[in-house]
Structure 1
């Protein structure tokens, strides 16, 4: 686990544990070569998803640099942790009631987007600032792709909304789409041949 402490937090810990080894470790000043080694770590990985944090140990021939690597849920083969979605309790309850509903990723950039799984089918959500669409991808090559599209009710710039508002609005659109999908499949099941 990585803990990023502020200067005030570090000072408080040092004061609380002044006679303990942790106080000595936290009191050490960064090595004079730390910036150069951190820059070299960035060049070595040449990847915007790598963030070097600090030089942990300087040796004669270099140094050990602690860093963070960004890994997507898809790369790890996992779903988003529902507790981390910034949505209302009402929306959380509605999502929890849908069997087999999972979010793989959710992005609030210029265009909102989300991906996930519903039962045995993948889904995608996109919002371009004017309209949004939700699509259930085919499970097999002979299945149909089901798409639901709507114009956004109010003209908004997605970049103006905080994450909390954006996540909740995306999930509300997805819930509406899933409800329409459920209704359409029930209607098809009751249609005479």
Structure 2
């Protein structure tokens, strides 16, 4: 039986969630670079000093939010039927995030613009993708035909990174033109690579 989360841990988690919520609202309205830690702290009802008790930087806020979405994709992938090919299962696992982004386009679209076009976030986004490949690859490996040696690890990482590149391409195109549907763009991107599956 797992440990029960203490009241202090739950409170800390709730405060972190509120700080992230306020930060992402500010990022969506004015961009990452233009948003200061002082503004985030004020919006969350705390001092700048208190902010640093929960996060080391604005980059950590972004990375944590991206990691949360990555965990949701991993859970969706793990829940897909075992007989699905890795490519089909990955596309389906992206659906929840894509549907949520489309439903909240007024907030999601500016954030995609920010993630794709703000130079200050490039290293954070690269680190998130690296972590996400590491998170999803073992789940993809379970769907590949077994091979001797470590080749399965390479294949799983390649399939996972390719699917994430398709998602990134779709989100990048959507960031340029939100009149397009993100789900359609993702279908087009993954469909272009699907013959290689």
Q: Which structure carries more relative contact order (alpha carbon 8 Å, separation 6+)?
A: 2
TM-score (norm 2): 0.29
> Which structure would you say has the larger Rg?
1
Structure 1 or 2: larger strand share?
1
Structure 1 or 2: larger helix share?
2
